[in-house]
Amino acid sequence: MVVLSQPPALEHCSLIKTCKPTCVFTGIPVIDLRDPEAKTLIVKACEEYGFFKLTNHGVPMEFMTRLEAEALSFFNLPQSDKDKATPFGYGSNKIGPNGDVGWVEYLLVNTNPQLTSLKTLSENFCSYAVNDYILAVKRLAFEVVEIMADGLEIEPRNVLSRLLRDEKSDSCFRLNHYPPCPQLQALSGRNLIGFGEHTDPQIISILRSNNTSGLQICLRDRTWVSVPPDQTSFFISVGDALQVMSNGRLRSVRHRVLTDSMQSRVSMIYFGGPPMSEKIVALPCLMAKGEESLYKEFTWWEYKTCAYNSRLGANRLGLFEKTANASL
């Protein structure tokens, strides 16, 4: 479906990078959440790719389509109306405070009920559509990390999920809108980068998008490949915090988003993070006898601060590797 929308302001276009389209990767692990072998398959996928597609997840399709419709209604508002929502999480072009830009506009909110500001965003944005979706996806996140814990033979199985369930959990939700820009892309024959390459700093990310392509992941051999879209499924990503907690066994996946020349892409991402004061350290039950932690201990607040003060594509975990610190 071609969606006509008002794109983000154009003043940053000269700063937005482009790249050539890549091949579609058909090897993305696809896991049925109700498969008896799901726990084993999830761990294997997270070890090899840090990423997998989840089907039979139990989140009603109605929740997804309703939120997508509400998001498009908001993003299609006049720019002056959207700018009024800036204090409540709206932004465009700029990604963070360190000079990163992309062909994207977004809404970013904390999922803590005490901090959520969606209800004040706009009378045009239906808060119950967001709340229904977030509650369903949070429950899915709890279930996924508990099944993952079973596969890793972690006891108790709520070691990871308790961090997401905590009332002080620093989790957030993001709606990204990537408008088409055929005029600019026709000049170069390349795709504008909507969101530059990065890893997610949290524990786990759960993404759902419409059927417009654009998501790419970086494989172990540093090859970039395109992920086929599927609006009925979720894509699960390992975050940096989980890489540390598994002592590198599960790897956070580097990814980016390219824009489509004709179609709008809408993605919805839940980022499951721990409380600010939580110490992020390798779990002893995942370490062999005599094995040492690859990373020094830090709190989520310390790592989040580091991420906020870094460029988007920086190797943030490198600053916390013990070998790197030993050589300083």
Show which residues are catalytic.
Answer: 265
Residue among 230, 257, 266, 187 at smallest CA distance from 21:
257
Alpha carbon of 48 to those of 28, 29, 66, 237, 251: distances in Å? 10, 10, 34, 12, 8
Phi, psi of 323 (to 5 degrees): -65, -40
Other C-beta atoms lying within 10 Å of the C-beta of residue 271? 22
* Residues 6+ positions from 94 with CB-CB distance below 8 Å: 12, 100, 101
Per the rule left: phi > 0, alpha: psi between -120 and 50, beta: everything else, 189 is: left
Q: What is the C-alpha to C-alpha distance for residues 302 and 32, in angstroms, rounded to an integer?
A: 36
d(CA 109, CA 154) in angstroms, rounded, equals: 31
Tokens of 192: 């504008």
DSSP 46-112: HHHTSEEEEES----HHHHHHHHHHHHHHHTS-HHHHHTTGGGTEEEEE-SSSS-EEEEEEEEEE-S
If one counts every other C-beta atom within 10 angstroms of the C-beta of residue 37, the result is: 11
CB count, 10 Å around CB of 139? 13
